[in-house]
Structures are given as structure tokens and as C-alpha cells.
Amino acid sequence: MKVAVIQFKASTNKEVNLKKIITYISKASSKNAILCAFPEFMMFYTNSFQTPKQLASLAETINGNFISTIATAAKKNKIQVIGSFYEKSEKKDRVYDTAFVIDKLGKVISTYRKIHLYDALGFKESNKIVSGSKITKPVKTSIGKIGIMICYDLRFPEMSRSLAAAGSEVLVAPSAWVKGNMKEEHWIAINKTRAIENGCYVIAPDQVGNIYCGRSLVVDPYGKILLDMKKKQGVGFANIDLNKVKRTRKILPLLKNRRTDVYPMLKA
């Protein structure tokens, strides 16, 4: 099953980005991909000068023009689409960083609001973003059961393990991984580890350019990198084989061998 990964440099103009997104969806479909995954902040790049109020004014609801246009393109091209957008929240001058899954009929079948905000390494996402309150259950798609994470969530193994234990065969993590000391090394190691420890595929589309490092990845259940887009903008492809998930989890039964009866006993 062929999946497409989109890596691009988002501008600050969401209409410009939306046109690019529609083009990428069409390209992915023309190469017979059944799903295409976009990076975090695909809606637009928000720089440090943009105020929380300005960001909130540009955010939309799940029924807004941004998602509706993408849904129409998904239906037209008969392809599933995963990505993220800035979603309006109830809190003044704050938005959600929300991932979405759209099926090939153009229906939004799952959403997830980022729960781990990037308040680290000199950044403070909570100045502009409000965190979600729950992990979304895996959703059935044409490439298997998908668990959704967003960027910084990858650093918290509890989340990917929870999604795998709930049935995820593929983890998809739209990301905008910031450049910095050892950051690319962290990115590669974390994505490989999440795949290995859960015996699943990891699809991690990343932003490139601006302050982001690129290196969009697809990793198989045994930790082999199937796709590394380096610094290239465009569409990359990889094949997903659910039998490999089954085989890996059989010979390396990490989920089965967990001692959940013991772990809670440890006290700080």
C-alpha cells in the first residue's frame, strides 16, 4: 500500500499554502498513493513576531474553508489526507494545534488536539496554543489502524505505547521539528525508537525551511528507514505492509510481554 509524505516550507499566507496543498494532493493521487500525510503547521508558518491575538484571528473551525477545501480535494482525488491546522478554541487568544484524518470520500473521520506543547529548548508554545485534553483512539483507514500524534508528542513514549496498545498499526506524526544542537539526531532516533518499541510503522512528515529541519521519515516496524526526504520539498513515497507489523509483533512481542501488573507499583 503506497503512502505519500509531503515535505514543504509553509509561508505565512494560508491561501498560498492551501493552493500548494491541493497540488500536492493531486500529485500523490496521480502516483497511486492511497494516503498522503502533511506536516504540522501546514496551514501557515507563524513567526515569533505574530501575536497570540493575530494567530487566533487566522484560526478556523473544523468546518471552515481550510479543511473543507482539503476535504473536497481528497474526495476529488479519491485519497485519504492527514495533516494539521490551527483550530479556534474557547480560550481567548489561544488556538488548538489540531490534526485531522480525512477519508477518500472527503469526510473528516478523526481529529486530535496536541496534548504536549513545546515548552522546551527556549520555546513556549503555550503562549499561543492551548493543549488538548485526551489522546484520540486509533482510526481505521485503508492502510490499517492509525494512531495520531503531533511533533513534540514523539518525545513521550507513554503516548505512542498507549496508541499501540489500543490497536495502532501505524503511527502518523505531523511535525515541525525545530533545528538546533543534536535536533536532527534526536528526530531520527526518536522516530526509529517509536517504531521499534511498538512494532509498527511511523510516518512523520516534517516542515522544512524557516526554522525547521526537514528529514520527513517513514520507518518500518523493525526500525528500518524506508524514506528520508532530507531537505527536499515535495512528495515522497513508501509502501506499508501490515503483514510486516504482524510478523514483527510475533517474533518480537513487546506489547504482549509488558508487565502492566508490575509497572504501577513503582512509587517516586
All three cell numbers of 213, joined, read: 529541519
Q: Examine the residue annotation and report whether 40 is marked as an active-site residue of this protein.
A: yes
* Among the listed residues 116, 216, 134, the one whose alpha carbon sits nearest the alpha carbon of residue 172: 216
Cell of 173: 506524526
Cβ neighbour number for residue 262 with a 10 Å cutoff: 8
d(CA 168, CA 110): 14
Distance from C-alpha of 18 to C-alpha of 23, rounded to nearest angstrom: 9
**Residue 184 annotated in active site:** no
Q: How far is CA 177 from the centre of its chain?
A: 11
121 is written with which cell numbers? 529548548
C-alpha cell at 210: 524557516
Note whether 216 and 236 are within 8 A (CB): yes
| Among 36, 60, 87, 114, the one annotated catalytic | 114
Contact by Cβ (8 Å): 108, 82? no
The CA distance from 42 to 75, in Å, is 19
Let me know: does 204 contact 184? Beta carbons within 8 Å: no
Query: Catalytic pick from 128, 145, 151, 192?
Result: 151
Q: Which residues are bridge partners to 227 per DSSP?
A: 218
Catalytic residue among 40, 60, 87, 169: 40
213 belongs to the catalytic site: no
- Whether the CB-CB separation of 198 and 255 falls below 8 Å is answered with yes
Residue of 235, 184, 215, 233 whose CA lies nearest to 11: 233
Residues assigned a catalytic role: 40, 114, 151
